[in-house]
């Protein structure tokens, strides 16, 4: 029997029928997982799989194994196996979301970015946690963190560790040129110009300017420095733009034009920006707290010559010290077979014992407010930890499930400002209209 038009059509129709049937199978009412039992803790022995990435300790070990050991002292009949997550956040999201949409029971607990909860909750990939913890449970964490982890009134992940943005500077160069640590972006530009004129550094400031989520984090900070935001409190109206938007993007465009910010920054992610700084070419670096471990590592060419400060503000602006709220949290897989044990483990990682262990043995910033603002933290040798309490956290508007499209509108447009292709005003207008489309579900 040869392949004919009729046999092709029959096959296609058969497959279409099966596909329709498969789609309809999932058409029942979408009920959340039953958490009543989970609220009472683990029900007997269990083996959990924890999707996470390696977390270096000061001693060169992996914090994850230490945390699991501490957890098992309390719950000896629960085993926790590590599943190594991909190092790239977006790939981790791709793999997880595909598995969870199809109802995979593992991983039981997964580490996710604080930018995910809105989207993951909307798409039923995460478990709502209010039923399993006391009402005032979330007050132990910074309000901004809990807002980021919430969607429509419920919290969808346990806080784990924080990532905050800081200004790293070459203390040796500033001292040599008798320059104070800048408190405003105008001073940053001036300092950069002076040091560059004197041949002390190739470039002034490096940051994450490539067309990806990291640029949106930078933009959110600069806009906050200028007194603005991206969306209103409900996440339904665009507030990106106006004077604050113009000032933020105007400064970035001017810095790129004058060479304070290298044109290459339009291709930089965290790694490239850090490389440019540790390579000795840049005077300032905007990056996340964990980068302290990199610039201060024994093999870092700039070790001992770097200082850390909270990010500057704009002259006459509302405040300095804004830092984007980053970091990671632990989600509970709604399809997991051991919800009680999974909740117990994710919760353990968010609480005092685990958080204190993290603060003492690694460079990760604890999420618990009491530890972040403790005397022990302020006296820490790790400057990012000592300064953590001073940072004004800037959350991204992640509560909208359309956040990835909102972010895409920002980073694709601002990226073209950094490479000098678009004027700030045009980029702002385009981004505003694309964000509005995204919120209305009209964007691609």
Partner 1 sequence: MSFRGTTGAAAGATAAAGAVARGRRAPRGLRERRARTGWRYTAPALIVVGAVTVFPVVYSIVISFARVRPTYDGLRVEEWTLANYTTMFASQAWLDALVFTVGYTLVTVAVELVLGIAVAVLLERLEVARGWLLALLLIPWSLITVVSAQLWGYLYNATYGAVTWFFGLFLSEPPVILGTPAPAITGMAVADIWKTTPFVAVIVLAGLVRVPRERYEAAEVDGAGAWTAFRHVVLPALRPVIAVAVLFRVLQAFGIFDLPFVLTQGGPGTATQSLAVLGHKSLFQDLDFGMGAAVSSATGVLVLGCCLLFLRLFRSQVDENAEGGRNAEGAA
Inter-residue contact 17 to 10 (CB < 8 Å)? no
The 3-class SS string of 83-147 reads EECCCCHHHHHHHHHHHHHCCCCCCCEEEEECCCHHHHHHCCCCCCCHHHCCCCHHHHCCHHHHH
Task: Out of 15, 54, 233, 319, name the contact with partner 1 by CB under 8 A.
Answer: 15
Instruction: Compute the least distance from the CB of residue 95 to partner 1, in Å.
Output: 9
Residues 6+ apart with CB under 8 A from 390: 310, 321
Instruction: Compute the least distance from the CB of residue 27 to partner 1, in Å.
Output: 5
Q: Give the Cα separation of 104 and 49 in Å (integer).
A: 12
Contacts of partner 1 in 403-442 (CB under 8 A): 404-405, 408, 412-413, 415-416, 418-419, 421, 442
Residue 58 backbone phi and psi in degrees, to 5:
-60, -30
Task: Out of 16, 37, 54, 74, name the contact with partner 1 by CB under 8 A.
Answer: 16
Inter-residue contact 110 to 125 (CB < 8 Å)? no
Q: Is 87 in the site for partner 1 (CB under 8 A)?
A: no
Q: Is 444 in the site for partner 1 (CB under 8 A)?
A: yes
Q: Give the Cα separation of 284 and 104 in Å (integer).
A: 45
Q: CB-wise, 122 or 137, nearer to partner 1?
A: 122
Inter-residue contact 203 to 281 (CB < 8 Å)? yes
Q: CB-wise, 94 or 236, nearer to partner 1?
A: 94
Instruction: Compute the least distance from the CB of residue 215 to partner 1, in Å.
Output: 10
Q: Give the Cα separation of 129 and 143 in Å (integer).
A: 16
Residues 6+ apart with CB under 8 A from 276: 203, 206, 262, 264, 268, 282, 285
Q: Is 49 in the site for partner 1 (CB under 8 A)?
A: no
Q: Give the Cα separation of 204 and 196 in Å (integer).
A: 7
Q: Is 31 in the site for partner 1 (CB under 8 A)?
A: yes
Whether the CA torsion 406, 410, 411, 412 is positive or negative: it is: positive
Structure tokens belonging to residue 187: 């001073």
Task: Out of 77, 81, 90, 175, name the contact with partner 1 by CB under 8 A.
Answer: 90
Task: Out of 35, 85, 111, 210, name the contact with partner 1 by CB under 8 A.
Answer: 210
Q: Is 247 in the site for partner 1 (CB under 8 A)?
A: no
Which residue is listed with tokens 């509970």?
Answer: 332
Give the number of residues in contact with partner 1, rule: CB under 8 A: 65
Which string of b and e fits 352-386 if b means at least 16 CB within 10 Å? eebbbbbbebbbbbbbbbebbebeebeebebbbbe
Q: CB-wise, 27 or 375, nearer to partner 1?
A: 27
Q: Is 263 in the site for partner 1 (CB under 8 A)?
A: yes
Q: Is 199 in the site for partner 1 (CB under 8 A)?
A: no
Q: Give the Cα separation of 258 and 2 in Å (integer).
A: 69
Instruction: Compute the least distance from the CB of residue 66 to partner 1, in Å.
Output: 33
Q: Is 219 in the site for partner 1 (CB under 8 A)?
A: no
Q: Is 9 in the site for partner 1 (CB under 8 A)?
A: no
Angle between helices 352-361 and 339-350 (to 10 degrees): 50
Q: Is 29 in the site for partner 1 (CB under 8 A)?
A: yes
Task: Out of 144, 270, 275, 426, name the contact with partner 1 by CB under 8 A.
Answer: 275
Q: CB-wise, 274 or 382, nearer to partner 1?
A: 274
Q: Interface mask (CB under 8 A) for partner 1, residues 277-296, using x and -?
A: --x-x---------------
Instruction: Compute the least distance from the CB of residue 38 to partner 1, in Å.
Output: 14
Q: Which residues bind partner 1 (CB under 8 A)?
A: 1-3, 11-12, 15-16, 18-20, 22-33, 90, 93-94, 97-98, 101-103, 119, 122-125, 210-212, 262-267, 272, 275-276, 279, 281, 334-335, 402, 404-405, 408, 412-413, 415-416, 418-419, 421, 442-444
């Amino acid at each position: 029997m040869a392949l004919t038009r009729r046999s092709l059509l029959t096959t296609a129709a058969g497959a279409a029928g099966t596909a329709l049937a498969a789609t309809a199978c999932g058409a029942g009412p979408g009920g959340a997982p039953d958490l009543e039992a989970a609220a009472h803790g683990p029900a007997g022995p269990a083996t959990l799989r924890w999707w996470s990435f390696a977390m270096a300790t000061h001693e060169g070990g992996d914090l994850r194994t230490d945390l699991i050991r501490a957890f098992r002292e309390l719950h000896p009949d629960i085993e926790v196996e590590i599943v190594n997550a991909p190092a790239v956040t977006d790939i981790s999201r791709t793999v997880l979301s595909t598995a969870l949409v199809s109802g995979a029971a593992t991983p039981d607990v997964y580490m996710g970015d604080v930018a995910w909860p809105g989207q993951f909750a909307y798409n039923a990939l995460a478990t709502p946690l209010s039923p399993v913890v006391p009402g005032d449970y979330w007050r132990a964490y910074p309000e901004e963190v809990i807002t980021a982890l919430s969607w429509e009134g419920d919290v969808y992940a346990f806080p784990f560790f924080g990532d905050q943005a800081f200004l790293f500077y070459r203390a040796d160069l500033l001292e040599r040129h008798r320059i104070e640590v800048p408190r405003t972006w105008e001073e940053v530009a001036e300092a950069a110009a002076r040091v560059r004129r004197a041949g002390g550094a190739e470039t002034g400031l490096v940051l994450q300017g490539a067309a990806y989520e990291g640029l949106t984090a930078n933009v959110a900070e600069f806009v906050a420095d200028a007194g603005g935001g991206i969306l209103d409190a409900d996440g339904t109206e665009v507030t990106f733009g106006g004077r604050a938007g113009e000032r933020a993007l105007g400064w970035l465009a001017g810095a790129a034009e004058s060479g304070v910010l290298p044109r290459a920054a339009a291709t930089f992610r965290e790694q490239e920006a850090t490389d440019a700084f540790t390579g000795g070419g840049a005077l300032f670096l905007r990056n996340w707290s964990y980068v302290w471990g990199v610039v201060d590592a024994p093999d870092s060419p700039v070790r001992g010559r770097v200082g850390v400060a909270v990010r500057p503000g704009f002259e006459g602006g509302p405040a300095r010290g804004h830092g984007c709220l980053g970091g990671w949290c632990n989600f509970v897989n709604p399809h997991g077979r051991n919800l009680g044990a999974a909740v117990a483990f994710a919760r353990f990682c968010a609480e005092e014992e685990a958080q204190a262990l993290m603060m003492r043995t690694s460079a990760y910033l604890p999420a618990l407010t009491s530890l972040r603002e403790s005397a022990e933290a302020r006296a820490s040798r790790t400057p990012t930890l000592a300064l953590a309490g001073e940072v004004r956290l800037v959350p991204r508007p992640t509560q909208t499930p359309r956040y990835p499209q909102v972010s895409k509108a920002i980073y694709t447009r601002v990226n073209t400002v950094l490479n000098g292709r678009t004027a700030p005003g045009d980029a702002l207008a385009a981004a505003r209209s694309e964000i509005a489309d995204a919120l209305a579900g009209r964007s691609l």
